[in-house]
Structure 1
């Protein structure tokens, strides 16, 4: 299987069945020793069934997030202010779809087909990032997405690019290069609004107020209640805890917002100089789980768009997979 410049081997089906039945203690010890030494695990290597399951879940959800995440920004391509920003947004949306393809390729090396992943997304079985279930009401929303949500994603992806599974790490390295350009684009748009007219700054402040809680949700629940973090960190799938990544994000980006005269809708937000950690109002985690499980303001709308795209593109996929139909396609 070929994807984005990397050649991935199909997992051995017999090996998959063996892993699903039980984990050989001797193989498990060798596996964990390799991870402790910082070695990369590759598709043909033995791995515990739980490692494969957790990794598949993580990469698949990341891939879905890249695809769904292009939708709120894509709706603003024709309305972006000025030709330069339209071109930049087109390029960014194209990049995000490409990131999704890279990640689906990486997830497929673990034994789950892309068709199964897409079906699980469209049925609501598979999850994706909470932040992509909110509306982009104004250009300022796109700006906040482009700067702060991309910044949060970079914090997560730079850390995980040093993880234990080779195909995922290589995909993340390439994705992070492109995300750094997205961050610059978002920062440029943010500066333009923050230093523009009073109306532009007010529009930006309003968007920031609405997006702040979803952004705080982005890194996931606190470490004390997170279901997956401990095991993922033990196997170096996840290289930093949810709270650590959230603190790193706040440490880097809150001062940048304050320097521009922007405020954040949390009166308790401050950095504890003794601990070096940020303190803040705990966001509504019930709302987070509601959104993740399909109850957000745009969940159904976003999935309906993907269902429409899947149905409308079916004939193209069918033709590409069938040589006889491909020869019958009209030539432009």
Structure 2
């Protein structure tokens, strides 16, 4: 579940000056014709670099994104929801595996990607650095955060890099089931007791700004978007994805009698675009760079998992050797 937003990095478009102009034109002509670029095809160094950055961050977001919901598996109301949430979390981890495999085709090893995640060098989506205080928070993620991810991913599944597109096709199919599960959970709370409705409303109030951040900063602040759209790595801009999400899901939220904590949110009758309060992008940058409520906690969990799983990886790489299973 990743918005694919810009991280306020400085683009190095001058890298293109070192590329063979004939090969670069052939490459861009292929993309213009709608052809897929495959791992063994020639590609500009900047295309490879941006793809690694984007797919790697998406993979990290999937595996870190399983943590806020994973803490609610044992606390979900009823056996059926426990089982459903367990299956959903398992899917998210599986999505990370697909994406790490896609990124590896570009030349960066999975081990290096995980090391960069744990060290804080690589980023992941800002929204997974906030705590899930109640069951309603978990429901919000399952419905609306996954909905935002689907908006981004269904667009990018039509992009130019074959392995990423094929991974996204499978991921989006599974995310559609997650969306239905989340929607069902939100409906149950929104149409339930006054206490349940209050709990759901409070979750929306807490998570709305992080959700607006989820799509990335506005296009006027984006340093990657123009190049990524040109090469069909991204098929829509941050603002376009945010507008599509608002168009699809604001009416659904209102239909449930829930409110959105933005007094300026309305659809412009002339332009057909949603107007809203600009979220705090300084907060976005602070959280994405490691200073959010749960950044340290999320990475600590991944660090412990990596350390505890080391003996398994060693045994798989050298099956003839004898390994002792650790007792703790």
Q: Using structure 1 for the length normalisation, give the TM-score.
A: 0.92
Unaligned runs of 5+ in 2: 1-14
Q: Distance in 2 between matches of 1:304 and 1:36?
A: 43
For 1:157, which of 153, 161, 167 is the aligned residue? 153
Q: Distance in 1 between matches of 2:72 and 2:303?
A: 20
Residues 226-305 of structure 1 aligned to structure 2 (within 5 Å): 226-305=222-301
Contact kept? 1:155, 1:245, Cα under 8 Å: yes
Q: Using structure 2 for the length normalisation, give the TM-score.
A: 0.93
Contact kept? 1:35, 1:235, Cα under 8 Å: yes
Q: Distance in 2 between matches of 1:21 and 1:230?
A: 17
Q: Distance in 1 between matches of 2:144 and 2:76?
A: 18
Residues 58-97 of structure 1 aligned to structure 2 (within 5 Å): 58-97=54-93
In structure 2, the partner of 1:316 is 312
Contact kept? 2:268, 2:275, Cα under 8 Å: yes
In structure 2, the partner of 1:15 is none
RMSD: 1.4
**How far 1:22 moved relative to its partner?**
3.1
Contact kept? 1:320, 1:326, Cα under 8 Å: no
Runs of at least 4 residues off by over 2 Å: 19-22, 325-330
Residues 210-229 of structure 1 aligned to structure 2 (within 5 Å): 210-229=206-225
Matched position secondary structure for 1:154: helix
**How far 1:276 moved relative to its partner?**
0.6
In structure 2, the partner of 1:47 is 43
- Larger RCO of the pair (alpha carbons < 8 Å, separation 6+): 2
Q: Distance in 1 between matches of 2:132 and 2:161?
A: 34
**How far 1:325 moved relative to its partner?**
2.7
Cα distance 1:104–1:20, how it changes in 2: closer, same or farther (>3 A)?
farther
Q: Distance in 1 between matches of 2:272 and 2:204?
A: 25
Unaligned runs of 5+ in 1: 1-18
In structure 1, the partner of 2:140 is 144
In structure 2, the partner of 1:36 is 32
**How far 1:327 moved relative to its partner?**
8.0
Q: Distance in 1 between matches of 2:123 and 2:240?
A: 22
Q: Distance in 1 between matches of 2:16 and 2:116?
A: 20
Q: Distance in 1 between matches of 2:17 and 2:118?
A: 29
**How far 1:116 moved relative to its partner?**
0.6
Q: Distance in 1 between matches of 2:302 and 2:131?
A: 16
Q: How many residues align?
A: 312
**How far 1:159 moved relative to its partner?**
0.1
**How far 1:329 moved relative to its partner?**
6.8
Q: Distance in 1 between matches of 2:270 and 2:194?
A: 37
- 1:274-296 CA-to-partner distances (Å, cap 9, x unmatched) read 10100000000000000000010
Q: Distance in 1 between matches of 2:311 and 2:272?
A: 56
